[in-house]
Amino acid sequence: MVSLGFLQLKTDGHDEYIHKVAIASASKHFSVYRFSPFDYDVKRNRVNGLKFDCKTNEWRNECFPLPKYIYDRTAFSHHPIDYKRLIHFRISKIEEQTTFLNSNLPCKWYVYQKLKDSTLIKPFLPHTEIVTFHTLKLFLNQYKKVVLKPNIGSGGNGIYVIENKKHFYSIRNGEMTQEYIIDKSINDLYNYVKDHILSKTYLIQPFLSIQKNDYPFDLRIVVQKKATNCWDIIGKGYRKGKKKSLLSNLHAGGEVCVNMKLPRKTRKYIDPVVENIIPHIPQLLEDRNNRFFELGIDLGIDIYGDIWLLEVNSKPGYKTVLEFTDNKDDHIFSGLKNMINHIETSSLS
């Protein structure tokens, strides 16, 4: 029997995605587990976690050996640095003993560097640089309005908008609820940014007008690996943020928008882009040290109808995709089982 473990920071709550994957997998002679990095006893090489009972469709406490395959669903980019180091250490000890099915995307700059050399993908990438005095000055002179994003992190946290106005610079947070004014001095602006924002590496991009009736929106697409270098789009759906905000992701208060109405011209344009461009992205991001099972890819459509690749997430949420599948979601939850079967079969040949 093949064993599959889900690694999470917390296992006490219900996770619909993991629960349904367990139902799809356990019925096919898989043992499925959930545990946190702190549940693993390095000295005994045992885990005190949860095992899925396929007879009752419930999780029960159990002590078990490390599963053969691990799908890492931990997310801790917003935790204090010492806690993140501890988690990294605990996960590294687990990685030494078993096979991880997915890696973490190192950072947004890694994604940009990997994708920008592709003539297929580059037209959809916003111009991106690391924030320095030079790039801040250059972007504000060229684009007038820019976005600052933390190089590491997700969920829309830590995003700022800076606008080059006639007599001053305006700095707003991603929710557009707070504004700070800097007199027309690029030196003063950079000093403020350096002192209040740049405690970690930030990226700078042109501001993209991705709103519909003052509501930000984007298209979330989830892809899963079916075999080596073979990726399928398993679902997609639109998300809408708060009015006049910059953020449309669900963690920032956005919501799934099933009835998103777009111009016919835009709809006809975006479908070929999704079908022809998206499956190439994971192939470009994978290398010897970074292997993925699934990715969440977010696209934005600006007021001119141009499509932009906004973000790639190596541990995508499924709420948006599931609300767009009309309960035809077996292909989503059987993906891990099928991928492991492919690995097992390939190892025997």
Kindly report, residue by residue over 62-92, the tens digit of the pLDDT.
999 999 999 999 876 666 677 778 888 899 9
pLDDT-based confidence at residue 187 (cuts at 50, 70, 90): very high
Distance CA 229, CA 316 (A): 19
pLDDT-based confidence at residue 153 (cuts at 50, 70, 90): confident
Across the chain, what does the average pLDDT equal? 87
**Residues in the chain, overall count:** 349
CA 251 to chain centre: 12
Question: Torsions phi, psi of 225, nearest 5?
Answer: -80, 130
Q: What is the DSSP letter of 256?
A: E
Question: Torsions phi, psi of 171, nearest 5?
Answer: -120, 125
Q: Which of 26, 20, 30 is nearest to 325 (CA)?
A: 20
As given in the structure block, the two tokens for residue 171 are: 């700095």
Distance CA 78, CA 87 (A): 13
Distance CA 220, CA 332 (A): 15
Select from 1.10.3470, 2.60.40, 3.40.720, 3.30.1490 the CATH code of 129-206. 3.30.1490
Taking residues 147-162, what's their average pLDDT? 87
For the chain, the first-to-last Cα distance in angstroms comes to 19
Q: Is it the case that residue 176 has pLDDT exceeding 80? A: no
Q: What is the pLDDT of residues 23-74, one digit of tens each?
A: 988 766 789 999 999 999 988 999 999 999 989 999 999 999 999 999 999 8
Distance CA 314, CA 296 (A): 6
Taking residues 110-129, what's their average pLDDT? 95
pLDDT-based confidence at residue 281 (cuts at 50, 70, 90): very high
E strand spans, 8-105: 30-35, 40-41, 46-53, 58-65, 69-72, 99-100
CATH class entry, domain 2-100:
alpha beta
| Interacting residues of 268 by C-beta distance below 8 A, sequence separation 6+ | none
| Interacting residues of 284 by C-beta distance below 8 A, sequence separation 6+ | 114, 115, 118, 121
Give the domain ranges of the chain.
Answer: 2-100, 108-124+213-348, 129-206
The CATH superfamily label for domain 108-124+213-348 reads ATP-grasp fold, B domain (3.30.470.20)
Q: What is the DSSP letter of 20?
A: H
Percentage of the chain modeled with pLDDT above 70: 93
CA 304 to chain centre: 26
Long-range contacts of 57-63 (CB under 8 A, 24+ apart): 57/19, 57/23, 59/11, 59/34, 62/33
Q: Which DSSP helix (H) or strand (E) runs through 187?
A: helix 186-196
Q: Is it the case that residue 212 has pLDDT exceeding 60? A: yes
SS3 at position 160:
strand
Distance CA 230, CA 280 (A): 9
Q: Which DSSP helix (H) or strand (E) runs through 130?
A: strand 129-130
Residue 215 one-letter amino acid = Y
| Interacting residues of 317 by C-beta distance below 8 A, sequence separation 6+ | 17, 250, 296
Q: Is it the case that residue 251 has pLDDT exceeding 60? A: yes
Place of tokens 């009972």: 53
pLDDT-based confidence at residue 348 (cuts at 50, 70, 90): low
Q: What is the pTM of this model?
A: 0.89
